[in-house]
Amino acid sequence: MVLAPAKLNLFLKVFKKSGEYHNIYSLVCFIDIFDEIEIMPADDISVSSELNLGKSDLVYKAVCLLKQISGCRLGADVSIKKRIPIGSGMGGASSDAAMTLRKLDKLWRLNLSKNRLMKIALMCGSDLPLFFEDSSLLLVSGIGEKIKPVNLSSTLYFVIVYPGVQISATSAYSWYDLLTTGKTTTIKHLPAAIDFETIAEIVQNDLQGPVASRSLAVKEALEVLSGKAKEGVVFMTGSGSSVVGMFKNEERRNKCYEEIKFQKSWRCFKARSIRLSEELLKR
């Protein structure tokens, strides 16, 4: 079994487009919420999950592209158990595709370099390459292809609220284009080791305003969580719709979670930062 971790954007700055994609500058953290992937040898390629997307599934596209580029004649039967909410801004689809590519490189004995795999991943989507770095925190820039591991000096704790609506990245960025000038504030130089206080000072998601203005569910989740997370920092992750409370310690996180977990019909999660490592591929 392969574990595909969720990610959070602790800050997300958006700049002008490079072709199809916007340029971004983002600090990404991996967390201990996982999709579970089973991969079995097969003559052909098949991908199954509760989504039933068939050949439009990002994992299917990634596996087919890997097979085409590598010239491998083997197949794979990929089965995905979803734990990461769909359309939540937590990178579930990208993580599934990237971790499947990493595992198939081993199962098919392709022995491709990390850079080669990352280039194949980028052809599938701008979020995929970051799942090839073994780190807790990553600075991501360009359209997602420029990645720099950053040292996280202490564990971060999170309450995550998924308000039950799916927000596509395409919609979020188009709303951003309509509602902003494209200008964004810059982030000061980050220290070599980052802690809660450092991140708390720079938390900002340029997509949060545009998405909250179009989605009442996201706006309400931000307001409710902000009222409960008095000792934390609240922000939207990625293109939404998940809203996050970030805390310095587990006790404060747990207190907030207990106060918000039964709010409405939202799905609420407790999570902590983790290091993405090869151990996820050995299960």
**So what's the pLDDT on residue 279?**
67
pLDDT tens digit string along 121-161?
999 999 999 999 989 999 999 998 999 999 999 999 999 99
Average pLDDT over residues 157-171: 95
Task: Flag whether pLDDT at 265 surpasses 90.
Answer: no
Long-range contacts of 21-25 (CB under 8 A, 24+ apart): 21/126, 21/143, 21/144, 22/143, 22/173, 22/176, 23/141, 23/142, 23/143, 24/140, 24/141, 24/142, 24/143, 24/144, 25/139, 25/140, 25/141, 25/187
**So what's the pLDDT on residue 182?**
60
Task: Flag whether pLDDT at 188 surpasses 70.
Answer: no
Average pLDDT over residues 23-38: 96
pLDDT tens digit string along 84-128?
999 999 999 999 999 999 999 999 999 999 999 999 999 999 999
CA distance 192 to 228: 32
3.30.565.10, 3.10.290.10, 3.30.230.10, 3.60.140.10: CATH of 2-149: 3.30.230.10
CA distance 151 to 72: 37
Sequence ranges of the domains in the chain? 2-149, 152-272
Give the percent of the chain with pLDDT over 70. 96
**So what's the pLDDT on residue 186?**
67
pLDDT tens digit string along 8-19?
999 999 987 877
CA distance 54 to 199: 39
**So what's the pLDDT on residue 229?**
94
**So what's the pLDDT on residue 181?**
66
Average pLDDT over residues 66-94: 96
Q: Which residues are catalytic?
A: 7, 127
Q: Which residues of 91-115 are buried (b: 16+ CB within 10 A; e: fewer)?
A: bbbbbbbbbbbbbbbeebebebeee
CATH assignment of 152-272? 3.30.70.890
**So what's the pLDDT on residue 109?**
97
Residue 31's region, left for phi above 0, alpha for psi from -120 to 50, else beta, is beta
**So what's the pLDDT on residue 272?**
97
Contacts of 212 (CB under 8 A, 6+ apart): 218, 219, 222, 236
**So what's the pLDDT on residue 35?**
97
pTM of the model: 0.94
Give the chain's mean pLDDT: 93
**So what's the pLDDT on residue 185?**
67
